Structure 1
């Protein structure tokens, strides 16, 4: 089996569309002249283009829609017997003489729709006849679209229980349940077969077919019938995926136009979906809690898209989730916890307003059911930073300019909030730091100078708590260690230096170096000093800022006792060299004088050598 390329597909699609347009031209001429014979001839030739097996479901759909539009025009012609002079009964027999099965069945479905509406034969029998004949097409894609066409042209004959077509419902149920044998032939449900690339292609086709079974309008109008069947399915069926995808498709369909949204209000889609989910969860007693919460997340997403103004609906979904969570002793599944966080985050993302979210009475009740340990803390931090995301990053579409003083007050408040986050368990505190960093790293050049320092000092506090611990980093789930925290700190400060805050970043590098000194991690401390030197050389150009930076480096280096003689000599001479090259002579003298103390440190026997500091080494000072 050859795998076709995108360019070949585009070529074949263009050829198919050209064939449909060519025959549609002559079809329109036949319809204008009321020539039934030519109309059937050119419509059959046009429909023969749908016999192709070379297109993917998406490309085939484009071809199908071209033919569909022409068939709707042909249907109007069939309805008007005064134009073609043939009764619908005879017409139903006549189209069955078309040569190829696929064009014949499309024409048969088109005339059959007119036949059902004429009431000249029992509607149920006609529909059963069409369903049985459509089984003659076994190709998965061609058969699927043929049945979709039958469903589309028959939908207004099937849906009204009190209508003249009530007898169609039995046949309609049969069609829905048994009308898709092609899904079991070429693309087996139990497992895909063939070489790896072929299986991959089959998997993609099957996924595409799942999206193209019926039109969204049909789903909406038959929603009550469809949802009534869900509680009756076997427990082994992945009903949460089916319902979640249905709600996702319907919510996107609702956003397509105001008229469609009105239809959703008329059919009370939210109420029907909510009731169906409640019944499914009630019937499937063994459904994992993550499955139930996933359904509520999907229902909440649907509600926020379709009924954003109905806060009572949103609160109702949260309340239903509370009811489910109350039935279990403890929420221990981490995946379920993530779904609860997603449930709590959705209203915040939609309304972008903390006050609105807090008006939902069931919002805090959902949070109360999170695990009392780690997961609850993590989820609370996630939700907290979703609440204040307008303070920690620029929101899409935001154009209001904030007063500079107000902006500083806001960011200082965020920094204070970061300092307030604390957990006694080092591993959990490290997770909190990582969550906060994830949220604040998008703050940009204006916000990071406020948020990064507070986060760095929170991490340094944790380092001091762990001081003396050793261990290498293996994976993400290892206990918190100073080495691991220092790696994260390096990333934080690097992000700060990238937003043109080199002086602040240098100060933080020196703070981290002193913390590494306390943990007896010489190579880590040396690396932080190296990063500080790089910033000094490449980013700090202002003479006053250089003087300040030099004295900070000298002070930090004087307090270090972790370095070997060799490493300390390298850092000391580098610092003294920077001091001797300052712009102004007085600044040079003061800085080099301060460096002299680096060669004689009380309490450190290895650093008491006054002979090694020689002004002749620095001729600029002579």
Structure 2
């Protein structure tokens, strides 16, 4: 007795045998010598397609269309494209037409790539227009087609377009526009497979055009991205940035930057319903570092246009919120500083028609930008950026501007930086920057150096105080023909550092019950030697000799267990002095006055 399952298996077997037979017959038909393009076009294809459409069997229709596409030459398909596409639109609604059309487009695009001469044929038959219209009809008539099916068709059509007509950006944009229309008919794109196809659609132009600027000219590109969910939007934004980095693309106009930042807005500000606190910290940092690297790819040799770019970038970045600003503000600041250097090299301000590129205007933008960062709060980073801007203003000979940036840095130090380690780092940054700046007059310089030395002497730990104070000695002796050379104040700083070091040593000795390390003394000794060699008349051989004797005394007082050779730093310093004595010459004569 036969059951339903057995009957179904028998029917399937018969169907497969019939399918193979029909397929072989079509294959033979395609190989017959007399079947040329004219006969195929006038006789063979119309009759075969008539049988396909009239059979009203979804499996048979699908298989027969597949056979036609596979067994007949690509040239025949191109010349009969209209008839083939018309048949596709007449198939049963349940036939998987997207696979048929995808196979057809794959064959045609491969055919187009086979020879440059073939492309002319594609233009003659208007292949893109016919395929686009056919796909539109299939999507409109097959109401049951899921959204993923429609997206798959658009991906295939875009792939065909990029391979056959890569120079026709209007065709590419037309495909993206059709995709927007379809996506707009769906309340919300929640199908993960459809979302994947949309990403493939958006990725195709990035892969084809190594220059991201080409993709930025596609008006429908951002409209497609608007239909992605927040997570996928970020993935796509990262792909765009990676494409720019991979191809070393430079975005050189404000208009293009505006479009680009609209595309990657999911990375530079919180989208609706997004909570930064819930994001994975490592992923978030990677995203923001990518945005920071991207900012360095925005450049234009024309100062006026570059200033426009900076305005656009700043407008977008300032919406990023406190978590993003520490990543994105620094590259923006350095881009603006680079523009300052460019203007300064060209001789100063350039008055443009729209946005005049003036040095003071750029520094005003920098001040406002860093001020936003300091309110995050992120005072240590803000202080570093203020100092960078102060140095740039000094190079442009803008003393009031440089002084203002230093003032802002000092305010941050006093009011916002409380951690002792951060204070130490900040002081050395301030001193180092102030040392390199030569724009200040006597009054302003005295004010700033007084502040810096005062902060140094008030650090929490004695060793930190000592090192910061002797670092301040360089503020009064700049190794430059036009630099300040106040030997007396250098000596005052070094003596003050020596007193602090002595106090620190006594505290250590009291704690240990014996002499502690003499590192601070040796460091100060090296500063004495530096200024001695630079010709500071207030640093005498007797000062150096006294300091060497002090170090020897401290080392030998450690219960007799320590020798002068047990401190490598001190031993190395003494070897240097001996070397200078042996070398002779003017410097050797100076060192001969030091007795070891």
TM-score tier after normalising by the smaller chain length: 0.3 to 0.5
TM-score between both structures, scaled by the size of structure 1: 0.44
Structure of higher CA gyration radius: 2
TM-score between both structures, scaled by the size of structure 2: 0.46
